[in-house]
Chain A
């Protein structure tokens, strides 16, 4: 699915990623944990193709293609989805409109016919119900005046509709109370499948109580310093990140 080899990237003159290597197989869920400033969010953004980051070395191969060579919208159409830590508001553009436009852009790329409103509505309605959202939600401006929990659920709704192959969740748990976290986690779990992979970037272990990862990586100072099974997350929760940082500097 995804093969990252010795990836290095910087923002302006500051090196943030200093050689990251990661293999994600179809159906796997990888958690990337680490202290603030370790490069977690930078990794998500570089994978999604955000401007402002300069890749200075290494390679990223996604489904056999050079991911770094694609424009952000091409990556999205190829099935890379980023759930944002801070979803933006787009006033006046209804949620359902954005969803339909995005889905059709992706379908067109795949050579499928575009869906019309008649087919689209029932599809979306089924999804919003499972995320415990009201139908009115579809007709509000994108994230306009949404609560933190609604914004995150909206990201999961988009993910569910667009059916990506690789989902990158950037601190999706931040700012969520426990009830909202459960709903979001249920939404993600429902999307797990043998041909869909997840990369979950998170600071805290608690998200992993609800979404069980196959592999946990610890990122510190731009490098993966430790990888292991779900038990690694518990170890981090107990000991904090201090021992990792020391390890990385040593």
Chain B
């Protein structure tokens, strides 16, 4: 086990280094640069060149990378080229919104997926199972933004129960008025809950009839213990990887959901940064998302390893 943890962690560190290089290279490869954008179509080539010098864009790539990396180590993500404010400030504002959206959704998925999956898997083929299954397939088939718009139309506009949008609200405002978050969190939860529930359901349905469970019943073990201590842990192993996708999707910013509800979270921030060719911002976002992905996958692999220790033999 220890060997695997070490190997896997080393790989994660390597991945992070590669991401740093790739993120920087990405900025250099985008056609046009900030100077082009700031000056717009009216700038003369001379003006653009002057601006480039002013912004330090005429330095060689390795020098810019070095400066960027040095700043990064000191916690300085640079200043936005558009507004001149520190990138970290903007990120900080948006992380709050994304967390308000992602954390409740994650908590709901974590609690509901094993529960629904187990209930469904234990009553394979029953009316409840079929109902849950159909709902899952339906939700999976409807794109997030369509689901969001449908909910807004039905719950907010027709029934007038919940606010339809959160345009212009920051973290504090959202906290003061949590009703605004109900619909976006629901959409985000529904999206990820389907996949995960179905994965757990398949594992439980198979494990329940497996040789291990059958033998434990022969020895007289109670059904509840068989399911909770043996069938469910066996089913969670394969579901962990899917769960990692789900965490990435929620903490990495939910672009579509944020767009539908006018939330200013990380997802919309990333899109804006790319549209503005605001290189320091783009780099900061890419780094954040990549870091989350690497960390989440590291955690998922370690958890899967513990849940399916036989991998030691095959890996």
**Are A and B a genuine interacting pair, yes or no?**
no
